[in-house]
Structure 1
Amino acid sequence: MKAIRMYQCGGPEVLKVEDMEKPIPGMHEVLLKVQAIGVNYAEVQQRKGTYPFPVPLPAVLGQWAEVVGQVAEAGEGVTNVEIGSSVIAQVPQGAYAEYVVVPSSMLLPVPHRLNLVQSAALLTQGQTAYHTLKSVGRIQPGETVLIHAAAGGVGSLAIQIARRMKAGKIIATASAPAKLELALSLGADAAINYSEPDWAKQVLECTGGKGADLILEMVGGDILQGSLQVLAPFGRLIYFGSASAVNEKWDRADLVKLLENKSIIGFNIAHFLTSRPESANAGLEHLYEMISADQLKPVVRHILPLEQAAEAHRLLESRQTVGTIVLKP
């Protein structure tokens, strides 16, 4: 089978297309023939060596990435799925491959209203969007939500979910006019270009000077610093990534801001899935309900062959994408 393997951290060029033996499913595991792989920014950080949880090298890339596949083989003790079934799953390690082994307990049916490519955006990115808003963000009806990188895989889903959770106002930020238009079309009330130096002032103007009650932040650097300035008293800032790869520095003024009863909460989807499986399952049920009611639809505009994984990473890092990037073996 073909797989994308890396022997060292670095730029996209470290991703190598290799022929490998198909893995063999063990007890309570299944072998999936992969049909689509959702690309996440976490894999870019894994490749660069900036991810908080380093991947042992050499490795097939894709730690806790989402795949859609067909059950090709079942190991001993598997009783909950049939050979040939189409499923979605989060792969603990090695998702960038034509075949992957996954515990049978982590399989879910493909939602009827989504095609295979759209389904590849549902688990990691869909769950991140849902749980940053609900489980850790504790969104309340009528609250103002600020969503950064709103045209990305997580952001585009978060806008739709926040609307279904009765947010009072949704403010989206992105880096280009086309991305801002997408955010508005998905349900955002206001769209701001965060590459403009006065973006934080624009957020305050949108909120009558109060700021946002809930902020979803995965850019880091200056955007994180500015977000703290526009966080309303008793507000929550959910920090779930640092695409800028900037080492965050806090001075006394930043810490004083927290004394205004503001909270910064870290979130990692892999840790959440393993530590709170019941909450993760409940979140998925709600995502499926929204999909069934035509209230949620992943945005997928970039589909590349598996062999072009390096190009997918280049596109993602250069901010030339909207929604989710999908690799197809």
Structure 2
Amino acid sequence: MKVVRLYEYGGPEVMKVEEDRRPIAGIHEVLILVQAIGLNYAEVQMRKGTYPYPLGLPAILGQWGVVAGIVVGIGDGVTHVEVGMSVITQVPQGSYAEYVVVPALFILPAPKEITPAQATALLTQGQTAYHTLKFAGRIQFGDTVLIHAAAGGVGSLAVQLAKALHAGKVIATVSTPTKQELVRSLGADIIINYSEPNWIQQVLDHTEGKGADIVLEMVGGQILEGSLRALAPFGRLVYFGSASASTEKWDFVNLLQVLENKSIIGFNIAHFLTSFPELAKEGLEHLYELVSMNRLNPVVKHIFPLVNASEAHALLESRQTVGTVVLQP
């Protein structure tokens, strides 16, 4: 089978497509024929060596990656999974492969209403969007929600979920004018280009000077600093990543701004899924319900063959993508 392996940190060119032995399901494990692999920006940072939790090299890419596929083998002790089932799952290590073996407890039936490529958006990106709003952001009826990078994998889902969770106003920011039509079609009330120097003032103008009740922030750098200024008193800024992080440092903010009765809440989806399994189960059930009601539609605009994973990474790193980027073996 083909895999994408990393021997050193660097640009997309360091990713190597290789042949590897097809794995075998062990006790309490399931073997999956992979149909789609959902990419996350954190994997770009892992490849570059800027992620806070570095990979041990060499390694097949895709730490806690999401795949959709078909069960083709089950190990001893597995009772709730059958060969032929269409499933989605998170792979603790090595999702960039034609076959993966995962613990049976990680297996979930795939929604029938969407494609395997769309299904990959639900586990990590969908759960991140849902729980940054509901659990970390504590969204209330009528809240104004500011969502950065709203055309991305998490952002495009968060715009739809904020509306479904009864936000009063959704302000979406994007990095280029070409992404505005997408977020408008997803239900955003106000759209701002955060590359414009006055984007903070635009947020304040659209909230009568108050600021947003919830800010979802994963860009980092100056956007993180500005987001605190655009946050309302007693508002919640949920910080769940930093696409602009460098090798030398992560993000730091002037904590004096917190003394203006503002909260910064950190969120890590991998930690959340392992520490709060019941809440994760509840979140996924709600996501499935919204999909079945056609109130949540994962956006997939970019699909690459597995062997072109380096091209997918290059596009993802260029910030020119919309929705979820998917690899198909």
TM-score norm. by structure 1 comes to 0.98
Equivalent residue number for residue 235 of structure 1: 235
| 2:322 counterpart residue number | 322
Aligned equivalents of 2:88, 2:141: Cα separation in 1: 31
1:128-147 alignment to 2 at 5 Å?
Answer: 128-147=128-147
Q: CA deviation at 1:294?
A: 0.8
- 1:311 maps to 311
Contact 2:220 2:251 in 1 (8 A): no
Aligned counterparts, 1:143-158, within 5 A: 143-158=143-158
Q: 1:243-269, CA deviations, whole angstroms, 9 ceiling, x for partnerless residues?
A: 011535656xx3221012211111111
Shift of 1:106: 1.0
Q: Give the Å deviation of 1:51.
A: 1.0
Q: SS of the residue aligned with 2:97?
A: coil
Match of 1:206?
A: 206
Q: Quick one: which amino acid aligns to residue 16 of structure 1?
A: K
Question: Which whole-Å CA distance do the structure 1 matches of 2:250 and 2:168 have between them?
Answer: 30
Structure 2 partner of 1:94: 94
Paired residues, what number? 327
**Alignment partners' CA distance in 2, 1:229 and 1:192:** 16
Q: Give TM-score, length-normalised by structure 2.
A: 0.98
The 5 A counterparts of 1:233-272 are 233-246=233-246, 247-248=249-250, 250=252, 254-272=254-272
Q: Residues 76-95 of structure 1: matches in 2 within 5 Å? A: 76-95=76-95
Off by >2 Å, runs of 4+ in structure 1: 246-251
Deviations 1:126-180 (A, max 9, x none): 0000010011111001010000000000000000000000001100000111211
Q: 1: distance between equivalents of 2:252 and 2:105? A: 42
Identity %: 68
Alignment partner, residue 115 of structure 1: 115
Q: Which residue of 1 aligns with 2:273?
A: 273
- Letter of the aligned partner of 1:22 in structure 2? R
Q: Alpha-carbon deviation of 1:189?
A: 0.4
Give the Cα–Cα distance (whole angstroms) in 1 for the partners of residues 54 and 231 of structure 2: 31
Residue 38 of structure 2 is matched in structure 1 by: 38
Maintained 8 Å contact 2:38/2:121: yes
Change in Cα spacing, 1:250 to 1:103, as seen in structure 2 (3 Å) is closer
Unpaired segments ≥5 residues, structure 1: none
Q: Secondary structure at the match of 2:27?
A: coil
**What amino acid is the match of 1:224?**
L
CA RMSD across the alignment: 1.0
Would you say the 8 A contact 2:217–2:224 is kept in 1? Answer: yes
Q: 1:16-41: per-residue Cα shift (whole Å, max 9, x none)?
A: 00000112211111010100000100
2-structure distance, mates of 1:111, 1:245: 34
Once the two structures are TM-superposed, the CA of residue 274 in structure 1 deviates from its matched residue by 0.9
1:210-247 CA-partner distances (Å, limit 9, x unpaired): 00110000000010010011111101111111101153
Check conservation: 2:30, 2:101, Cα contact below 8 A: yes
Contact 2:38 2:327 in 1 (8 A): yes
SS of 1:285's equivalent? Answer: helix
* Contact 2:242/2:251, CA 8 A, preserved across alignment: no
Q: Report the secondary structure of 1:316's partner residue.
A: helix
How many Å separate the matches in 2 of 1:178 and 1:7? 36
Structure-1 separation of matches of 2:33 and 2:25:
12
Provide structure 2 residue ranges, at least 5 long, that are not aligned to the other structure: none
